[in-house]
Structure 1
Amino acid sequence: MAEIPIRSFAVSVVILRKVSVGYEVLLLRRNGTLVGEWCQISGGIEDGEKAWEAAIREVREEAGLTCRQLYSADICEQFYEADRNAISIFPVFVGFVDADMEVVINDEHSEFRWVQISEALRMVPFPGQRHVLKHVEAEFLEREPRRHLLIHDAHAGTSMK
């Protein structure tokens, strides 16, 4: 009996900012892989790097942002890749940034938008992304995030080691 490999080599990060009408999520329009599609931040985990460290680095590299707080979303984004005949599972993180921070995208993206979750749900192409966004809305916006999920708090100067 053949098995389908399961790969976990990257992270997914949902970035949120508080504005006068609630919260907005950052979406980036992809170049290269998935060209033209709107996605949250994602990227590979480098050798010797913890997944949460990759999340912080990818946010900085892809959007020029620093997370005020970074949480484990306590969920994984998962999908089947037909070309690799593999299941990919990415741990998801939720990063909160200050509303006045300037987004500077890298060459992996052609543009960015800050949108309400309801609009993001219409923009992202995959059911797994919508599942993640609904989870983030329920667990991080409609209720106070659990303190046990906090990984990095820039204001308090703390992070997991």
Structure 2
Amino acid sequence: MTTEVRESVERSVLCWLATCDENGQPNVSPKEVFAVVDSQNIVVANIASPQSAKNIRVNQKICLSFVDVFVQKGFKIIGTATEFKPSVPEYSRWVEPLLVMASDRYPIHSVFVVRAIAVEPIVAPSYRLYPSETTEESQIQSALRTYGVCQDKDA
């Protein structure tokens, strides 16, 4: 993962984990406690994801997506995931960067260690279809209007 990818992931407040079961049925679920560990690994807390955990145990291929909803850009991480439960020695190493984020508020049942195989950019179609008129600022302003968000200029 490049510095650009790492910084994008670190700015994200939510990501989406896609897994498939033994029959190829996809499952996508949001994750809000995750951290970049090194240039190849992202660790994700399993807080309330029994289906993701079950799927990873039978099919390690996953996709993890991070998108800035205002800029409408992000990254897709294609890779493999391994689940580590508290009963295994490796768990403490992987859970450590998540503990501050989770605090006592979220129970971490296990962690998914995602090893990146490929990283691809995600961009809204407007950037490709209307490149001369689509900028990050225009996307931000459009998203603010769509979501009814007012910017605090003093923040």
TM-score, structure 1 length as denominator? 0.27
Structure with the bigger percentage of helix: 2
TM-score, structure 2 length as denominator? 0.28
Q: Which is greater in Rg?
A: 2
Structure with the bigger percentage of strand: 1
Higher relative contact order (CA 8 A, sep 6+): 1
